[in-house]
Amino acid sequence: MPTILNPDLRRALADRVRFYNELGIYDFYRRGQSIAQTESALIEAEPQGESSSQPELREEMSPRKSAVVAKPADENIFEVLNARPEQSVTDPVAALKLIREDLGDCTRCKLHKQGRKQIVFGVGNPQADLMFVGEGPGADEDVQGEPFVGRAGQLLNNMIKAMGLRREDVYIANVVKCRPPGNRTPERDECDTCSPFLMRQIAVVKPKVVVALGAVAAKNLLAINAPMSELRGRFYDFMPSGARSSDPNWQGAKLAVTYHPAFLLRDPRQKGEAWKDLQMVMKYLGLKPPSQNV
């Protein structure tokens, strides 16, 4: 016999789902928990301090992870609210456009009021086999509205060329889409707020390989905290959070980690190591190296 949700809980669930949708999160999974437990949890789900005795509620509030909600007897509210706009189209160009429209003139994190000139969404082949993900826009990117167009961008272009590809063959994006002031490292809350849109971009492009450029990108994509020396040199199985693993056309990407081009500009001795990372990717993608190196 189906459980009938009380109307207040139903409204609270719908409001919560809308809240996550606003953050760009559309997919939810069900934790093995009774309706009664969840109802009680939702009623008490105000933000808790460090000493909270309900760690799973803090987890639920973290926008980096899928929201945890119980599956109610009446699922229609989720069927309607969970649908991401881009899932209504099959053309990746149109899908990326819908994500950009969903992002809008974004004010979801504090970077919107710290001097950004514009949002830097992403650029490249919407069906690329290879995707590069950096940390965030710098000054040149902020002016031009395109990722990796400054000196670091020129080096990335050379790296792409050395792989036997052109810039327009790959897709390029960042973890955060607004320039952090003074090119500081984006903060955790900024990455957590913005990265769901990156995850949606990856889910649309469906690359075979994602290359994380630098530790910030690697840690945000993989949700692990480790030094570059441990992150590099291997492939990770990667499925962007929120992507439907049941998509018959795409079972996720391989993810490799290498140095950010800006770091390589500061320490050119590491270019050889970066080249090893790219060669690993080339081998996987069956790319033939042209004569010149990075």
Residues interacting with ligand SF4, by CB under 6 A?
103, 106-109, 111-112, 119, 176-178, 190, 193-194
**Of the two residues 193 and 258, which places its CB atom closer to ligand SF4 in the complex?**
193
The least CB distance from residue 107 to ligand SF4, in Å, is 6
**Of the two residues 124 and 180, which places its CB atom closer to ligand SF4 in the complex?**
180
CA atoms lying within 13 Å on the CB side of residue 76: 2
**Of the two residues 129 and 190, which places its CB atom closer to ligand SF4 in the complex?**
190
The least CB distance from residue 253 to ligand SF4, in Å, is 22
**Of the two residues 115 and 164, which places its CB atom closer to ligand SF4 in the complex?**
115
Provide the 10 A C-beta neighbour count for residue 59: 14
State which amino acid sits at residue 270.
Answer: Q
Write phi, then psi, for 39 (nearest 5 degrees): -60, -45
The least CB distance from residue 84 to ligand SF4, in Å, is 16
Rounded Cα–Cα distance for residues 272 and 266 (Å): 14
The answer to whether the beta carbons of residues 203 and 243 sit under 8 Å apart is yes
**Of the two residues 78 and 121, which places its CB atom closer to ligand SF4 in the complex?**
121
The least CB distance from residue 130 to ligand SF4, in Å, is 23
**Of the two residues 115 and 268, which places its CB atom closer to ligand SF4 in the complex?**
115
Rounded Cα–Cα distance for residues 209 and 235 (Å): 9
Provide the 10 A C-beta neighbour count for residue 281: 21
The least CB distance from residue 252 to ligand SF4, in Å, is 24
Rounded Cα–Cα distance for residues 26 and 92 (Å): 18
The least CB distance from residue 106 to ligand SF4, in Å, is 3
Q: Would you state the torsion angle of the CA atoms of residues 49, 64, 95, 244, taken in this order, to the nearest 10 degrees?
A: -120
